[in-house]
Amino acid sequence: MARKSVSQTPGASKSHVGCGKVTASSLIQVAGTLTFAKREADGDYHLVLDDGHGNTMIVESPDPACAHGSVVLAQIEAVRDQLDVQLPALARGEVIHPNMAAVVTGIGFFDRLHGQTGVAPNGIELHPLLSVMLTPTG
């Protein structure tokens, strides 16, 4: 997966994002193929990116209702709106396999390993997503 740190976000470790009160410190951009997406019980969209070499990573679009008061709420809402337009089956609650090229930017977050679909070996995720660009392949 093409990965680059876009910038450091000073103070982000003091910011809370989403219902789970996620804290993080780095803004990261990755590119890959969106191979899997589902809406989770908490309303987040769980998306899996694959680099084409078998390496996967979870990126999540939190439910905007869980992000009230967040300094990045407008970006969270914009990403969710874009995903709902580009992936209407996901918005309806279906599990999908879009196989679309994706470039996403989000806040790096280490989740505990608990059998998630598409989890990276070290548990790194982007959560929340702050921008997304999806392009159909083929």
Give me the pLDDT at residue 2, please.
Answer: 55
Give me the pLDDT at residue 63, please.
Answer: 97
* 3-class SS shares of the chain: helix, strand, coil, % to 5: 15, 45, 40
Give me the pLDDT at residue 10, please.
Answer: 35
- Give burial (CB, 10 Å; 0-12/13-18/19+) of 60: buried
Give me the pLDDT at residue 22, please.
Answer: 44
Give me the pLDDT at residue 15, please.
Answer: 33
Write out the chain's pLDDT in tens, 138 residues. 555 443 333 333 333 334 444 445 689 999 999 999 999 999 999 999 999 999 999 999 999 999 999 999 999 999 999 999 999 999 999 999 999 999 999 999 888 888 888 899 898 999 999 999 999 986
pLDDT digits (tens, 9 = 90+) for 81-95: 999 999 999 999 999
Residue 137's Cα: distance from chain center in Å? 20
pTM, two decimals, is: 0.82
The correct CATH number of 2-136 out of 3.30.980.20, 1.20.1530.20, 3.10.310.30, 2.40.50.140 is 2.40.50.140
- Give burial (CB, 10 Å; 0-12/13-18/19+) of 135: exposed
Give me the pLDDT at residue 77, please.
Answer: 98
As a three-state string, the secondary structure of 52-115 is: CCCCEEEEEECCHHHCCCCCCHHHHHHHHHHHHHHCHHHHCCCCECCCEEEEEEEEEEECCCCC
